[in-house]
Amino acid sequence: MGTALKIKVDLSSAALRQAALRERDGRAAARMFAIANALDGLSRAESSRLAGMERQALRDAVVRYNAEGLAGLHDRPKGRPPRRLAGEEEAALVEAILRGPDPAEDGCCAWTRADLCRWLETHHGKTYHPSSMTRVLRRLDFSRQKARPYHPKRDAEAQDAFKKGGLAEAIAEATSRHRDKRIELWFEDEARVGNKGRVCHRWWRRGERPPGVQQLGYQWAYIFAAIRPATGEDVTLVLPTVNATAMQVFFDHVAASRPPDAHVLMVLDGAGWHQSLSLAVPDTITLVVLPPYSPELNPVERVWLYLRERFLSLRVFETTDAIIDACCEAWNRLIAETGRLRSLCAYPWIEKVAS
């Protein structure tokens, strides 16, 4: 049987309990209570039981308390191995990840953990296992995500100029030209829906790939939608074709739907049917054309993605009328979700410009 340890009496049991009550570290507080119990004459077994610890843990706490006082009752900092990558090596890895691989040189189009391990070994002579690379990537604040597509001909500078000044200038010009009107900012786009079907994400048994019906046909209908991000209002038509004539019908429908004191600033892409010479844009609408190849600037694109994932995938349509009916039903279900359109179109840069 081991010999009993004497506890130094620099602090009384009452003082230890007061210190435990002030202590934010729960483990350290429990050790203080256990030592206070022992100072009050309880056995080691009872003192440790009341504090929720093992007898050996109490003995270790007494040894550290005798040597270091209250500071010794806190957990020791856990040792961690030194980082194997120097600062400049980490910076090079971050740059390589953000730049992406060169298919000709690196043999892949997107990095995997194993690819990054090979890259590090080739360029910096550091050997990593893919599981260790996971920890490195997490520490560097990376996660594996699906890329957002963009057109190779997009002009990033033109997009930034439109977001930071171009749209604001269009709003200011419309305000000065229509001083007696209330300027409303709307975004417009069209979506093609047909029996060339699509699949979507779905829940399924782990380890099995879920099946999904995908029709292959060539019948179409088109959803014309204009959405006001500030309020979530929409004006929508489902038409069997997309051309300047259909666009004229839609513009007239938008103009008729707005109150007399409103002037619509309509942001849309540069599709040919948006700029046809045969179009007669109503006086209550001013068109603002997005930079070329910039669908990511139009929040209506997010509405199409949600609509397809939620309502228009894994479907079979026998006729064009069936497609039109499905589009109308899907849109009605979408707008029945309170606040959904406004949430989907809530781009911070648009809110900033429109405010």
In this structure, the number of other CB atoms found within 10 A of the CB of residue 268 comes to: 20
Q: Which long-range contacts (CB under 8 A, 24 or more apart) does 345-350 make?
A: 345/187, 345/227, 345/229, 345/232, 345/299, 345/300, 345/302, 345/303, 346/229, 346/299, 347/229, 347/299, 349/163, 349/164, 350/167, 350/185, 350/229, 350/299
In this structure, the number of other CB atoms found within 10 A of the CB of residue 45 comes to: 11
pLDDT in tens, 78-113: 766 778 888 899 999 999 999 999 998 988 899 999
Question: What percent of the chain is modeled with pLDDT above 70?
Answer: 98
Residue 308 amino acid letter: R
pLDDT in tens, 5-23: 788 888 899 999 999 999 9
User: What average pLDDT does the structure give for the chain?
Assistant: 92
Closest CA to 315 of 219, 214, 238: 214
In this predicted structure, what is the pLDDT of residue 213? 87
| Alpha helices, DSSP H, located in the chain | 13-22, 26-39, 44-50, 55-68, 87-99, 103-106, 113-124, 130-139, 156-161, 167-177, 244-257, 300-310, 320-335, 340-344, 348-354
In this predicted structure, what is the pLDDT of residue 4? 67
Tokens of 322: 């069936």
Please give the model's pTM, rounded to 2 decimal places: 0.69
pLDDT in tens, 139-198: 999 998 888 888 889 999 999 999 999 999 999 999 999 999 999 999 999 999 998 888
Which domains does the chain carry?
13-73 (no CATH), 87-139 (no CATH), 156-205+212-354 (3.30.420.10)
Mean pLDDT over 53-81 rounds to: 87
